[in-house]
Amino acid sequence: MRRPVWLLVALGLVPRGAGATSGTAFGESARVAGQGNAVVGAPGDAGSIRENPAGLADVTEPQVMLGASVGHVAIDFTRHGEADAPRQRWLGGYGLAAATPLPGPDWLRRLRVGLALYLPAEHVLRVSVDARTDQPQSPIYDGRPDRMSALGALAYEVVPALRVGAGVVMAPTLATPTEVTYVAERADGVERDVVVRLDRDLEMDVSPFAGIRAQPLPELGIGLVARAASISRAGGGQRTVAGGILADDPIDYHQFWDPSEVVLGVSASVMSGTNLTADLGYARWSSFRSGLNRSLDVPFEDTLNPRVGVAHLLRPWLTVRGGYGFEPTPVPEQVGDENYLGADTHMLALGAGSDLRKLWRRVPVGVDVFTRVRFGGSQQVDKDPNRLSDATPELPGQQIDNLGHPGFRSSAFFWQAGLSLTLYVGRERPR
Amino acid sequence: MRRLACLSLVVLASAPVHAGVEDTFGLGPRAMALGGSYAARPGDFAAAYYNPAGLARGGSQGEHGGFFELSAAHLFAAPRLYVTRSDGSELETPGEPTTTGVLVGSRFSLGQPFDLDGLNMGLSVYVPEHLFRWSIRPDDDVQWALLTDRTQVVTANASVGLRLAPWLSVGAGLRVMFDVETLTRGRVTDVASDPETGKVRTHTVLGTDARVFGRVAPLAGVLVTPRDDLRLGLTYRHESYVDDWGDTRITDVPILRHMGYTHRFAHYFEPTQVTAAVSADLAPTLDVSADLTFSRWSRALSTNHNAQFSPVWGDTWTPAVGARWAAHRALGVLGGYRFQKSPLGNYGGPSNLLDNDRHALSLGLESALEGWLTPGFDAKLNLAIEHVLLVERSETKDYRRFESDAALADNPGYPSYVYGGRLLAISLGLEARF
């Protein structure tokens, strides 16, 4: 046996799919997505900086990656005794990543620089926080894909068998104190009698991540990456004065993009042209807070997320890929006021990649495609009236207006396909 | 049942500036050092804004094969501004923040994979310490209109340049900005009497649905290189601004039942611009350039969409010149000057937006590291310093432009004031070719 397959099995399993090209959920590059996001132990490229920045040190020449993806998510939500109330939406986005080794002396050539940017097709950013805390929402599919993200990273090849890397993802925080006053007859017309004074300050904050990748044997790679939670905040105050009415309240919104994560991954060449990868990720969902920055009645649960992937060199210029992942839901039983949606999810991915340089030497381009589905079981919830708030305490009896009462069933299905184009821009083409 | 009371307002917004960081300080230290005279200086990522055609150099300097350039620079700028009323007291303004930001730029061969020389792409992203920062005030509040916010916003340019012939390059690109929609919904949860103000004090829970949309403004350019030592550039940039709209509704309000307002602001207005430029190599070690930019400020919007006590905007012409002297194989000295006419005037009316004519003088150093520090590493270190003098200006309120004597006396700028100041900016950058 050329490779100790048992070692791979013993080290185990695989991680939860990490972030994205630059941090946006479901914005991974086609190579990463096609392999089930199980790439932490495998050599990296410009499109996998977020998965393991140490893999950036595997880049041997300047490359620019352009990517695009489209997906469709359908979330079914059905209250007991009522008709289905499905929600569906299309998702899409564009990714740009660049990576290069530095030129110059040997110590400098071991250093790699990487940048990545992801832009959703619909919204650059969307933050939706409902005043009703019982609004049904998915912590996985609602909000997380709706943000632009950017990252920068450095990686260093310490020795040929050991690479380290670190980077930061942007996670801005907004301060927006607002004062609105109605001043009668200030100007001509009631619309112009309203005076608004507001300041908006979106401060740059970052979420760090770091990784290491070892290649003790040519056929075996081991990677470990840690990512801090990615959270945005919005604060300030909203003061509105109209006649004898004064409404003056603080604002404190909390957008939980991604939990902190630690992922261990291995990559092994088990036979000629075939590479198996396995990641195991620990995601700290227990730090999740609501959009109004409040602790949950029942905290989310941390999750262990295994993933496996395979890449097979079918032709010298063609690689086919596949992957599978299992994501336990962090959402606990929703018997109280909150109505978070989520069930255990399976992910299946297929992909292919072609290095056109192997076909035509004068075309230094790589093309990768992928498709994947995410599907899961059904979430069944039966509300406990004793744990629901009384909507109108001044009336006798318990008045329940919870949007999930008396219970509900939910499920989700997500399909996605995408394409990445890698341009090897730094090499003089053969003539 | 009482009628619902709803306050509606259209508030606008945005702190218009001279085209953001690019026109205020320059896109990168080299452009800053040359006074922004850059539309006929091809060959680096900054062409993505100044003239996209410059991404593909002409003449015998045209590149062949693949290449990848990466640049990073840091910018720091501090204003010293004053607004002095006629009685000698200082008038307060919303704030004069310093500017700290990082600029990342890249230029690379886009045509190499398609066996096409002279097709290059350029990208630039400016990330300030505050990704965006703006203050909305009524136009009659005393406030700096074009100095405080414009360098406090993320900006990005993405352009492609194509060399059609050794003497002719063309280019086009996009300048990326954003639109913002904010819908705020809330309900009153508690009511009490406020003894301090005598008003009915309500406590509310507010939710929001805030969306940021991308918005792009096109730009295009032509670069003519009749001789290796002479370049002519022409650039068009279309106007743009950040449209910021939305509404707020609070329900269960005592007496009024519902309360709310609609807002609409305009941030970072950037006018349509046309720049004509020329650069020439006067000697093997000396090159010079001159740019003239027409800016259509007459279509500008104040942060309040000119809806409240509008100021007057006028078109401007901005000349800029720059020179570079290669003092040594590894060291170049750069200098530049630019005069920016203010597009803004209050002319004694109710508005109090402040802006001055500007003289911008800059100096810079450029060092090829390969020549002395890192053999084999094709890299340059750039340093630039810019001093911007704001020519003192006065504003005297004219009673004929006010509806009443009371409105005149209540105006924050009454009876008159003078204002001016200076800006000092420094930028340090590294660029490398791979």
The 3-class secondary structure across B278-316, one letter per residue, is EEEEEECCEEEEEEEEEECHHHCCCCCCCCCCCCEECCE
B119 Ramachandran zone, left/alpha/beta (phi>0; psi -120 to 50): beta
The size of the A-B interface in CB pairs under 8 A is: 228
Q: How close, in Å, is residue A217 to chain B by CA atoms?
A: 30
Phi, psi of A109 (to 5 degrees): -70, -15
Q: How far is Cα B144 from Cα A322, in angstroms, rounded to an integer?
A: 58
Dist CA A65 CA A27 (whole Å): 13
Which residues between 103 and 142 in chain A have a beta carbon less than 8 angstroms from any beta carbon of chain B?
103-105, 108, 113, 115, 117, 119, 123-132
- pLDDT beyond 60 at A49: yes
- 10 Å Cβ neighbour count for A330? 20
Across chain B, what does the average pLDDT equal?
88
Decide: helix, strand or coil at residue B384: strand
Residue A269 or residue A14, greater confidence: A269
- pLDDT tens string A299-341: 999 999 999 999 999 999 999 999 999 999 999 999 999 999 9
Spatial separation of the C-alpha atoms in residues A182 and B262, rounded to whole Å: 12
Phi/psi of residue B130, nearest 5 degrees:
-100, 115
Task: Please tell me whether residue A302 adopts helix, strand or coil conformation.
Answer: coil
> What H or E segment, with its residue span, contains residue A102?
none
Q: Which of chain B's residues have a Cβ under 8 Å away from the Cβ of A128?
A: 208-210
Cβ–Cβ < 8 Å for B111, B139 = no
* d(C-alpha A88, C-alpha B351), whole Å: 48
Q: For residue A113, give the nearest of B70, B136, B256 by CB distance.
A: B70
Q: How many residues does chain B have?
A: 434
> SS3 of B20, please?
helix
Give the residue, B396 or A393, on which the prediction is more confident.
B396
Kindly report the nearest CA distance between residue A123 and chain B, in angstroms. Answer: 5
For the residues of B189-246, what is the DSSP string, one character each? EEEEE-TTT-SEEEEEEEEEEEEEEEEEEEEEEEEEEEETTEEEEEEEE--EEEEEEE
Q: Give me A339's structure tokens.
A: 């109505």
- C-alpha B189/C-alpha B207 separation (Å) is 13
Instruction: Say yes or no for a CB contact (<8 Å) between B136 and A196.
Output: yes
CB contact under 8 A, A119 and B256: no
- Where residue A107 falls (left for φ over 0; alpha for ψ -120 to 50; beta otherwise) is alpha
What percentage of chain B reaches a pLDDT higher than 70? 94
Among all residues of chain A, which has the CA nearest to that of B186?
A: A131
Determine the 3-state secondary structure of A354 from DSSP.
strand
A345: domain CATH number? Answer: 2.40.160.60
pLDDT digits (tens, 9 = 90+) for B68-88: 899 999 999 999 999 999 999
Contacts of A46 (CB under 8 A, 6+ apart): A29, A56, A59, A63, A64, A65, A97, A98, A99, A114, A116, A422
A113 in Cβ contact with A99 (< 8 Å): yes
The whole-angstrom separation of Cα A39 and Cα B184 is: 41
- Find which of B151, B199, B200 to mutate to test the A interface (most A CBs within 10 Å of its CB): B199
Cβ pair A130, A291 in contact under 8 A: yes
The distance of A352 to chain B (nearest Cα, Å) reads 20
CA distances for A341 relative to A24, A27, A128, A134, A140, angstroms: 20, 22, 16, 11, 9
Identify whether the C-beta of residue A178 lies closer than 8 Å to the C-beta of residue A239: yes
Mutation choice for B interface testing from A202, A255, A359, A420 by most B CBs within 10 A: A202
Lowest model confidence (mean pLDDT) among A37-46, B251-260, B406-415 = B251-260
User: What number is the average pLDDT over the span B173-184?
Assistant: 88
More confident residue, B74 or A234: B74
pLDDT beyond 90 at A375: yes
Confidence (pLDDT) at A128 = 85
Q: Assess if residue A341 is contained within a domain.
A: yes
> By C-alpha distance, which of A427, A199, A387, A246 is closest to B68?
A427
Size of chain A, expressed as the number of residues it contains:
431
To 5 degrees, how large is the angle CA A276–CA A282–CA A287?
A: 155
A304 touches chain B (CB under 8 A): no
Taking the alpha carbons of B192, B193, B196, B197 in that order, is the dihedral positive or negative? positive
Region A402-409: mean pLDDT is 93
Interface of A with B in 328-367 (CB under 8 A): 362-365
- Which of B112, B177, B201, B302 should we substitute to test contact with A (largest number of A Cβ atoms within 10 Å)? B112
Contacts of A124 in chain B (CB under 8 A): 178, 212-214
Report A:20-49 residues touching B (Cβ under 8 A): none
pLDDT at A201: 83
- Nearest by CB to A245, from B11, B187, B256: name it: B256
Chain B residues within an 8 Å CB radius of A167: none
B411: tokens are 């105006």
Residue of B nearest to A189 (CA): B9
pLDDT band at B19 (very low <50, low <70, confident <90, very high): low
Residues 6+ apart with CB under 8 A from B172: B52, B159, B160, B218, B219, B220, B221
- What tokens does B237 get? 């940039």
Q: Is there a domain that residue A253 lies in?
A: no
Integer angstrom CA distances of residue B434 from A411, B378, B382 = 50, 7, 18
Q: Cα–Cα–Cα angle for B161, B162, B164, nearest 5°?
A: 150
Mean pLDDT of A353-366: 87
Domain span at A19: 5-169+206-222+260-424
Cα Rg, chain B, nearest whole Å: 25
- For residue A67, the distance in angstroms to the closest alpha carbon of chain B comes to 15
Quick: pLDDT tens for B184-201. Answer: 888 888 888 878 777 888
Which chain B residues are closer than 8 Å to A194 by Cβ? 7-9, 11, 261
Predicted confidence (pLDDT) per residue in B375-409, tens digit: 667 889 999 999 999 999 999 999 999 888 988 99
CB contact under 8 A, B199 and A244: yes
Taking 80 as the threshold, does the pLDDT of residue A269 lie above it? Answer: yes
DSSP-assigned letters across all residues of A49-94: TTT-GGGGGG--S-EEEEEEEEEEEEEEEEETTS----EEEEEEEE
Put simply, the answer to whether A246 touches B432 (Cβ < 8 Å) is: no
Instruction: Give yes or no for a cis peptide into B375 (omega within 30° of 0).
Output: no
The ipTM, to two decimals, is 0.80
Q: Is residue A182 part of a domain?
A: no
Give the Å distances, CA to CA, from B300 to A133, A227, A425, B15, B341. Answer: 42, 44, 41, 10, 15
- Residues of chain A positioned with their CB less than 8 A from the CB of B133: 199-202
Tell me the HSE value of A74 on the side-chain side, using a 13 A CA sphere. Answer: 11
Type of residue numbered B382: N
- Domain B20-433: state its class: mainly beta
Q: How many domains does chain A have?
A: 1
Contact B210 A126 (CB under 8 A): yes
Cross-chain residue pair B65–A428, CB shorter than 8 Å: yes
C-alpha distance from B288 to closest chain A C-alpha (Å):
31
Q: CB distance B308–A187 less than 8 Å?
A: yes
Residue A232 in domain: no
A197: closest CA of chain B, how far (Å): 5
Contact (CB<8Å) B376/A182: no
Please answer yes or no on whether B259 and A124 come within 8 Å at the CB atom.
no
What is the value of pTM for the model shown?
A: 0.81
Within a domain: residue A270? yes
Task: For residues A121 and B139, give the distance between their C-alpha atoms in angstroms, rounded to a whole number.
Answer: 35
A 177-196 residues with CB below 8 A of B? 180, 182, 187, 190-196
Residue A9, C-beta contacts closer than 8 angstroms, at least 6 positions apart = none
